[in-house]
Structure 1
Amino acid sequence: MKNSVKVHAALFVVALIYAANYSISKDVMPRYMGPFGLVLLRIVGATLFFTVLSRLVAPHDRIRGRADNLRAVACGVLGIGLNQLLFFSGLNLTTPINASLIQTITPVVTVLASVVLLGERLTVPRVLGLGMAGMGAALIILGRTPGAAGQNVVLGNLFILLNATAFGLYLVLVMPLMRTYQPFTVLARIFQVGLVLAVPAGWQQVRTPDYASFPPSIWAAIVFMVVCVTILAYLLNNWALKYASPALLGAYIYLQPALAVGIAVALGKDSLTTTKAIQALLIFGGVFLMSRKPRKVTPAVLPLEPAQK
């Protein structure tokens, strides 16, 4: 199998895993376990896996220096702790389609963070894209979406927006670490930091459920979230990042909500309306404009002036 085919297969599997997670998680929350309990289970499993794997693959690789260690802590807080706590809190309150559409704001946040932190230019198309994507997200967040009794859908949408923001910042911050150290070393460290946030947040919700009453389907959903969503998706993503272009990654970001919508509608977890389709087009159009790299300005060649005598 050619390497390009493997990259496409890896990115498609990642998109499919994340898309299915929107609907599968709703089967577990909040009836069988609270959102923070699920986060704790996921982070514990991933922390153990990546810590052991980093010791086997790169036993002498360590994150060194005060700056890199502080960056790793920031990545663990934003990309693991806050990212997952906000995501599951939001998904517990909102619908799978709303969550998957709002999550596409992540590339917008990444571009803005690159402008602030890395000095990239903010062009007119990017400003227009920011306005379009922001309008689409605002319409979803503030829209009247029916939810289950006692659910605050608007609050859930806001949590998903904050989740996308935290993850977008994480993608910019983690890049120098991934280029300097072995990826498993970085993943082990940031999951260890995320675990520090997850334990106090999810400990009570892990202790309270009646695990003996869980049907096999719920156990399968929990195993899927720990093994596939948290471990396998990270492994495939990090492998594909070595070969995939930014344009290709962007295409698969757009594929994820499309798959999530199809799965949610097929399973009867949500419904796609004309209003949601228009909101999705606004976000996709805005993200496309924001993701375009600014053209390099070629300096004009001035005619040579004769030497002054």
Structure 2
Amino acid sequence: MSKRTLAILAALGATTIYGFTHTIAKGVMPDYVQPYGLVMLRVIGASILFWVASFFGPKEKIDKKDYRRILICAIFGMGFNMLVFLKGLSFSTPINSAVLVTSTPIFVLILSVILIKEKTTSRKIIGILVGLVGALGLILFGNEIRQDAPDIPFGNFFLLLNALFYGAYLILAKILIEKYHPFTFMKWLFSLGILICLPFGYQELIAIDWPNLPFEALWKIAFVILGTTFCTYLFNIFALTQLKASTVSAFIYVQPLIGILFALITGQDSLTTVKIIAACLVLLGVYLASRKPKTQ
């Protein structure tokens, strides 16, 4: 199996976990953990895991000239991105969250052209547009609005900010990923993430009533730390070593499909013609956006 194929599988695995997360993370907020408190658990837990994993990787030192870029990556990828995502999810719905993140490739394409002069193709643009049509169809023509969303417009605005910040992170991280081992890169990003998120999440972190948390809340928190944070960031880092940032971001279009399938399995949703058509468009969009051009 080629490295490119493994990278595509890694990107697909990451977006699958993210698809589950929209429902699982929503299930612990705000009854058991407040959004920023959950962010603190994510960055602290992932930092510990990546520091442990780094002992099994190469021993690398960060060049002084890269400190500034790593800090900026941490601000966008482990700070603002996580803060606005969970805050937005707490006010909106899992379906809205899963669909709105599909705007990330649009931001990535724009930022790629501006920041790193990345060339794009008409097929990639068509793929992103096709996937976007399918993703938007899940919201515009599907009845997935939940009752546990206190302020959907506010939440959706934060979720769009999440897409912007994550897109910026993908662009900035691409350059550093080519230079450092993933364990080295991620341990420092998440360590910085703790400092960035601490002013926002400290009070909510210490307010968690650990002795009275049920098992359901504990395993969901563990999933968000181990799966949503550690595994997905590691998978995406590997994917970025073989694929363009805009290609990796295009896999976000699979999230609405995964989210709906997960809801069907758990009995929280039903299948409709609209969802089937939208899912097909999403998959077609990912195929067009990620397919490697033929060499002449």
What is the TM-score when the length of structure 1 is the normalising length? 0.77
Q: Which amino acid letter does the alignment assign opposite residue 110 of structure 1?
A: V
Find the counterpart in structure 2 of residue 261 from structure 1: 260
User: 1:262 and 1:276, CA in 2 relative to 1: closer, same or farther beyond 3 A?
Assistant: closer
Structure 2, unmatched stretches of 5+, are none
Find the counterpart in structure 2 of residue 201 from structure 1: 200
Matched, 1:26 2:34: no
Find the counterpart in structure 1 of residue 227 from structure 2: 228
User: 1:131 and 1:22, CA in 2 relative to 1: closer, same or farther beyond 3 A?
Assistant: closer
Q: How do 1:143-154 residues align onto structure 2 when only pairs under 5 Å count? A: 146-148=145-147, 151-154=150-153
Q: CA offsets, 1:111-168, max 9 Å, x none?
A: 1001211234688899999999999999999999855467100110110100010000
User: 1:121 and 1:60, CA in 2 relative to 1: closer, same or farther beyond 3 A?
Assistant: closer
Cα drift, residue 13 of structure 1: 2.7
Matched, 1:107 2:141: no
Cα drift, residue 60 of structure 1: 3.5
Q: How do 1:205-216 residues align onto structure 2 when only pairs under 5 Å count? A: 205-216=204-215
Q: How do 1:133-282 residues align onto structure 2 when only pairs under 5 Å count? A: 146-148=145-147, 151-243=150-242, 249=248, 252-269=251-268
Matched, 1:53 2:62: no
8 Å CA contact 2:82, 2:162 repeated in 1: yes
Cα drift, residue 109 of structure 1: 0.6
**Quick check: 88-97 or 111-120, which moved more?**
111-120
For 1:105 and 1:63, how far apart are their aligned partners in 2?
33
Q: Which amino acid letter does the alignment assign opposite residue 110 of structure 2?
A: L
**Quick check: 190-199 or 266-275, which moved more?**
266-275
**Quick check: 220-229 or 199-208, which moved more?**
199-208
User: 1:9 and 1:181, CA in 2 relative to 1: closer, same or farther beyond 3 A?
Assistant: closer
Cα drift, residue 231 of structure 1: 0.8
For 2:270 and 2:76, how far apart are their aligned partners in 1?
31
For 1:22 and 1:76, how far apart are their aligned partners in 2?
22
Q: Give the % identical residues.
A: 35
Cα drift, residue 58 of structure 1: 2.7
For 2:119 and 2:9, how far apart are their aligned partners in 1?
33
User: 1:36 and 1:278, CA in 2 relative to 1: closer, same or farther beyond 3 A?
Assistant: farther
For 2:124 and 2:9, how far apart are their aligned partners in 1?
30
User: 1:260 and 1:245, CA in 2 relative to 1: closer, same or farther beyond 3 A?
Assistant: same
Cα drift, residue 198 of structure 1: 1.5
Find the counterpart in structure 2 of residue 116 from structure 1: 114
Cα drift, residue 275 of structure 1: 8.2
Cα drift, residue 217 of structure 1: 1.4
8 Å CA contact 2:174, 2:245 repeated in 1: no
Q: Which amino acid letter does the alignment assign opposite residue 104 of structure 1?
A: T
8 Å CA contact 2:102, 2:135 repeated in 1: no
* Structural RMSD (CA): 3.8
For 1:93 and 1:273, how far apart are their aligned partners in 2?
26
Structure with bigger gyration radius? 1
8 Å CA contact 1:46, 1:191 repeated in 2: yes
Q: Which amino acid letter does the alignment assign opposite residue 82 of structure 1?
A: F
SS, match of residue 119 in structure 1? coil
For 2:194 and 2:42, how far apart are their aligned partners in 1?
10
For 1:77 and 1:152, how far apart are their aligned partners in 2?
26
8 Å CA contact 2:108, 2:249 repeated in 1: no
Q: Which amino acid letter does the alignment assign opposite residue 96 of structure 1?
A: P
**Quick check: 228-237 or 218-227, which moved more?**
228-237
Tell me which of 88, 91, 94 is aligned to 1:93: 91
Cα drift, residue 279 of structure 1: 8.7
